[in-house]
Amino acid sequence: MRHPTIPGPCPHCGRSPGIGAALAAITETLRAMALDQVLTGWRWLALGHAVAGLLLVQHGASALRVARSIPGVSHDRLTRLWGERDLAQLLMRGLRQLAQTLDPAAWIIDDVIVPKPAMRTLAWAKGLWCPAEQRYVHALNIVVLLGCYGAFHIPLGFRLWCPKECSPKGSYRTKLLLARELVAEALADGLACQYVTFDSWYTSRPLTAYLHAQNLRWYGALAANHEVVWHEQRQRVDALGAQLHDWRARRIGKLVAGADLYSPRVGQVRLTRVRIDQPKRPCLYLATNDRTCTPSRAWDRKVGRWPIEPMFRDEKQLLDLGGCQSPRVEAQQTHIALVLVAWVVLQRLRQAPSQTTGEVQEQLIATIWGHETRFSAPVSDSMRDGSNVQSNRMP
C-alpha cells in the first residue's frame, strides 16, 4: 500500500517512486515542524538524512548502514552530526516550539530502561532492573516528559540519569530532580499544562512540592507500603482496610474509596483507593493535590498515563532507541533526540488518528522498496567470508 504523501508511479514509464521522494516527504514534514528554524546549513541536511535512516533502514540505523542503504547520504556528515554537543538541546527546543502552537496538554513523566549489554565502557550505564526482561541488565535510564495533545503526542524533553558513582562530587541528581528540571524547562518556554501525571516512583516531595508551588495539579500513585497518617495514627496505606468506606463508581465500574489524609513523604493529599482484584495487587492507591478530585477523575488520570508506554515501545522496536554504539554520552543524547524527532514525524505522517506509527513506517518502506530494507553486510564479515564487498551492496 503506497503512502499518500509520496507521489505514485510515473504515468509515462511506470517507474516507482524512489528514495528521493521519501526524503522529500520527510524533509517537508520536518520543515512543517519548524525545525529548519532551529538547524541550518549542513546540519539541516544531515537531520533529514538521519531521520530518514531511522524511519526507512531497519535492523540498526547506524551511520554506516544509513549511508549504505540510502544513496547520496554522507557517512562523514552523519558522524559529524552525532558529534554535535548542542544538537539534543536544539532539537528538544524545536519540539517545545511546536507544542507552543497547540492547546494546553496533559504532561506525563516516566523513565525507560535502554539495555546496552555489550557496551561496558559506556559512561552512565550500569546494572538496572528491567521490568520487561525481569532481570538486571547493563542499561541507560532516560527520564522523559511527554505532552499529550489529543491523539498527537510530543516529547517535551528528556534527561539521561547519571549514576552516583559517575557524577562529580556534589552534583548527583536523582530522577526526581531530573523530572523537576524537565517541568521547569517546559514552563520556562511558555508551555501551558492542564495537569501532570506519573507513577508511584515520582510521587515524592522533591517533585510534588515543586508542582504545587507552580500551581500545577498533579496525579500520582502510592505504593502499598507507603505510610500515611489517618486519624492521628501512622500506618501503611494498604492497612487502612475497612477504615475507608467502599462504594461502586458506576462510570468506571469499580469499587472505590476516598479520603483526605497526610503523607509524611508527600504532604496533604486526596487519596483514592480503587479495587482491581489482581492476585499480587488487589488495590491501586491514587493520590493528588486536587482536593475536589472524584474517584472517576483520579482513575481517568491514571489511565491517561498510558500513552507514554506505546511511545517507549515504538522507539525501541521501530526506531532503534538502543542502536547507538558510541561510548560518548553526548552521542547517546543526540541519538535519543533524533529518535524522539523521528517518532513525531511518524505521527505527522499518519492519515488518521487510529493509524499506528508501525503502520505508517510499514507504508513508507513498502512505498520505497516494496520489501524490508536490504543493506550490505559489515566489511569485516565480507572479508571473513572471502566474498566481494561490492557484490553485497544494494541493487
Whether the pLDDT of residue 200 is over 50: the answer is yes
Q: In whole angstroms, give the CA distance from residue 370 to residue 144.
A: 35
At residue 203, the pLDDT reads 96
Strands in the chain per DSSP E: 105-115, 126-130, 135-149, 152-160, 193-197, 218-222, 227-230, 233-236, 247-249, 254-263, 267-275, 283-288
Q: In whole angstroms, give the CA distance from residue 37 to residue 251.
A: 46
Contact residues for 313 (Cβ-Cβ < 8 A; gap 6+): none
Question: Which phi and psi (to 5°) does residue 381 adopt?
Answer: -65, -40
Give how far Cα 194 sits from Cα of 37, 197, 324, Å.
28, 10, 35
At residue 389, the pLDDT reads 34
Which one, of 291, 286, 267, lies nearest residue 198 by Cα? 286
Q: At what angle do helices 357-368 and 308-317 cross, to 10 degrees?
A: 30
Find the farthest-apart pair of alpha carbons in the chain and give their distance in angstroms, rounded: 83
At residue 83, the pLDDT reads 86
The one-letter amino acid at 316: K
210 three-state secondary structure: helix
At residue 61, the pLDDT reads 63
**Distance separating the N- and C-terminal Cα atoms of the chain:** 22
What are 135-177's pLDDT values in tens digits? 999 999 999 999 999 889 999 999 999 999 988 888 999 999 9
At residue 394, the pLDDT reads 36
**Residues 49, 338: contact at Cβ < 8 Å?**
no
Q: What percent of the chain has pLDDT over 90?
A: 59
Whether the pLDDT of residue 271 is over 70: the answer is yes
Give how far Cα 209 sits from Cα of 52, 92, 217, Å.
42, 25, 11
Which one, of 218, 201, 183, lies nearest residue 293 by Cα? 218
Instruction: Give 35's pLDDT tier (boundaries 50, 70, 90).
Output: very high
What are 308-364's pLDDT values in tens digits? 999 999 999 999 898 888 888 999 999 999 999 999 999 998 888 888 898 888 888
For residue 82, give the H/E element and its range: helix 75-82
Instruction: Give 179's pLDDT tier (boundaries 50, 70, 90).
Output: very high
